[in-house]
Amino acid sequence: MTGAASVDAEVAATLETLRPELARLARELYDEPEIGFAEHASAARLAALLTSHGAEVEVGVFGLPTALRATFPAADGGAPAAETSDVEASDVEASDPEASAPHFAIIAEYDALPGIGHACGHNIIAGVAVGAFLAAPPPPAVVPQGGPSTDMGNVSRIVPSIHPSIGLGGPDDVFPHNADFADLTVLPPALDALVDAAAALAATAVDYVADPDLRAAAASEFEASGGPFRGES
């Protein structure tokens, strides 16, 4: 088995052990939906699960009581080895010797819609993010990130980003942002999709860290599209 295949197999095996916990997280978020900026119980559930697997978690970061940041401490006591958060990326100081090391952030959403709960599937998205974070072998270092974001589009204007979509195995005539879609998110096909998506996201992170050509291609494409947006000067 090649190195990449071995890592992918390890990721898949880890996620199989996490499957019951990730499914329980998705169901608990579904059962107690909280709207944006009021996701206190949801943030606490994510923090508890991450902490139980050895992550260091801060809740109430970046000026938001419900924002969290999780890291795995480096073995040598240095910079965090991996990070998941609901925050957007910020500048990396070129003088930082760790800034040149491959790093990535996995971003989670866990807010619901008023009246119809998790009709965006954020309970699944949160499970995918937590699963990928716990399953992906950490990169050498990660640089702390900037302020909070409530939309992946904001992040993609600052750093190269991906926003994958997954199918939940429901009827073709059920779409996001309605109560029927929320109910789909806790059915077995959706919970299976959660684990599959977490594996894919973790494998993507592994590929990014391991393949300098992939990192160069991502950076080149990002620059060709206009590079980081800095706002009005």
Span 100-128, pLDDT tens digits: 577 888 999 999 999 999 999 999 999 99
Neighbours of 73 (CB within 10 A): 15
The answer to whether residues 199 and 192 touch, using CB atoms and an 8 Å cutoff, is no
Percent of the chain with pLDDT over 90: 61
The domain limits of the chain are: 3-224
pLDDT of residue 134 exceeding 50: yes
pLDDT at 197: 97
Single out the residue of 37, 44, 38 nearest to residue 59, CA to CA: 44
The answer to whether residues 107 and 126 touch, using CB atoms and an 8 Å cutoff, is no
What is the pTM for the complete model shown?
A: 0.84
CA–CA separation, 16 and 196 (whole Å): 10
CATH number of this structure's domain 3-224, picked from the four choices 3.40.309.10, 3.30.70.380, 3.40.630.10, 3.40.50.1820: 3.40.630.10
pLDDT at 97: 42
pLDDT at 55: 93
The answer to whether residues 33 and 112 touch, using CB atoms and an 8 Å cutoff, is yes
Dihedral sign (CA 68, 208, 89, 125): negative
Work out the pLDDT band at 140, boundaries 50, 70, 90: very low
CA–CA separation, 200 and 210 (whole Å): 15
18-68: pLDDT as tens digits: 999 999 999 999 999 999 999 999 999 999 999 999 999 999 998 999 999
User: Is residue 200 packed enough to be buried (19+ CB in 10 Å), middle (13-18) or exposed (0-12)?
Assistant: middle
The answer to whether residues 123 and 26 touch, using CB atoms and an 8 Å cutoff, is yes
pLDDT at 172: 87
Mean pLDDT over residues 187-208, rounded?
96
pLDDT at 92: 33
